[in-house]
Amino acid sequence: MFAFIRGYYCRPNSIPIIWLLLSIWLAPAVDAASLDLPAAETVALERDARLAGLAERRQALQEDAVAAAQLPDPELRLGALNLPTDSFAVDQEPMTQIQLGLRQRFPRGHTRSLSRGRAETLAAAEAARADARRRDVVRALRQAWTGRAQAAESLEILRDQQLWFAQLEEAATAAYAAGRRQQHDLLRIAMERDLLDEEAIRLKQMALEEDAELGRWLGTEVNGADIDRLPVLPMPPDPASAIESLARHPLILAELHTVEAGGIGVELARQSYRPAFAVDVAYGFRDGEDNDGDSRPDFFSAMLSFELPLFPGQRQDRQVASANARELELRSALKDRQRELRRQYDAALSDWQSLGQRIGLFEQRVMPAANATVEATRQAYRNDVAPFDELVRAEKTLLDARTRLLRLRAERLLAQAQLLYLTGENP
């Protein structure tokens, strides 16, 4: 390396290259495991294809709104009127003219402004659905992150138990060689270690499944995720504030905008009772001379045409009835959505509160009792007071208690992620 640098040192223009090589060589290594949960949420939101699709749909509707407010394109007419068929000469007959005309159509009533308002309202609904999708992505990522962390912590608890059984097997083997233990103790230890190995395989499979779910949201960034402990999530709002926030959930706002667009659709249908009209202007060029020898004058024409909705029973009335039915359907969907979100909130809140109580019971009573029982049983086993089976039962009880406490904490985090999805997070 230094010989290589000395080979270039004699060249003045190579000094920047030398410093570049030294900076790369001496630069400290970057820790790859640096992606925490907030950073992962940002990555997931940036990578979500459906979120990008909702943004494009909103942009399309906004463009539609601008286009819907414009008048139809004018129509240009060019033609020859009253040409004589014997010669097709434009100066033979006084009625012959070359006509240039322009027609502008005007839609019914307030159709343009209503169409624009409807498209803008639907664009607002798509913006609300995009907000709901952001919450959905964050919730799914938090749930997968929690599952992966639960698997990691469970494996850590299991390794502690495997280490203890390995130490116990070593001590029991020595005691068996000295004639102070029986062979079935060694067989029981081997069986328990095999069961722990099987559980470790299951937990590793669980970790791989959660890694696959995380990879869906993070892509290759999942390799830099630091997931060894359960995450800390923001606390959900109190129930009174949560109910108010629930009424402003993005899915509710999207349904409200959709209902509003349905109401505009009814007004659009009612515009069909009003006539559409068009204005025509034309200029006719004539060639030749009249009987007095003067040039024939050109013609100017103007015309107003409009529709006559005289029989609305089978068209306009049916269109309005159809629009009213669609609006009622949208209002029913809104009520159903409100009830469903409230049901989800009540269920998630009940789970979160109940799990909190169970975690408190485990932390304050179950875990201290399990640890005390294991310590007492170990001491009694060393003094040949407690049988081996009692020691194994105490150790398995402690393992189950630690695993259950971890599962309760993970389940409470899942319920908490659901509450935050429903009510939003405190600013």
Domain boundaries, the chain: 31-71+109-274+313-423, 75-106+277-308
Mean pLDDT lowest among 34-48, 365-379, 380-394: 380-394
Region 345-360: mean pLDDT is: 96
As a whole-number percent, the residues of the chain with pLDDT over 70 amount to 91
Tokens of 6: 């000395």
- Look at residue 303 in the predicted model and tell me its pLDDT: 94
Element (H, E) at 100: strand 97-106
Indicate if the pLDDT at residue 86 is higher than 80. yes
CA 127, 132, 134, 135 torsion-angle sign: positive
- Look at residue 233 in the predicted model and tell me its pLDDT: 94
What's the DSSP call for residue 31?
P
- Give the pLDDT band of residue 181 (cuts 50, 70, 90): low
Residue entry with tokens 């639960």: 150
Flag whether the pTM goes above 0.85.
no
- Look at residue 188 in the predicted model and tell me its pLDDT: 82
Tokens of 266: 């009814």
Indicate if the pLDDT at residue 406 is higher than 90. yes
Element (H, E) at 181: none
What's the DSSP call for residue 392?
H
Q: Which residues 6+ apart lie within 8 Å of 302 measured at CB?
A: 279, 280, 281, 282
Indicate if the pLDDT at residue 195 is higher than 50. yes
- End-to-end Cα distance, the chain: 54
Region 264-270: mean pLDDT is: 94
In this predicted model, what pLDDT tens digit does every residue of 310-341 receive, in sequence order?
888 888 889 999 999 999 999 999 999 999 99
Region 286-305: mean pLDDT is: 84
**Selection from 35, 29, 31, 32 nearest residue 226 by Cα:** 35
Asked if 423 and 246 touch (Cβ cutoff 8 Å), the reply is: yes
Mean pLDDT lowest among 239-253, 297-311, 320-334: 297-311
As a whole-number percent, the residues of the chain with pLDDT over 90 amount to 63
- Give the pLDDT band of residue 2 (cuts 50, 70, 90): very low
Residue entry with tokens 């009174």: 240
As a whole number, the mean pLDDT across the chain is 87
Asked if 252 and 341 touch (Cβ cutoff 8 Å), the reply is: yes
Beta-strand ranges (E) seen in 43-82 are 75-81
Superfamily of chain region 31-71+109-274+313-423: Outer membrane efflux proteins (OEP) (1.20.1600.10)
Asked if 68 and 43 touch (Cβ cutoff 8 Å), the reply is: no
Asked if 344 and 251 touch (Cβ cutoff 8 Å), the reply is: no
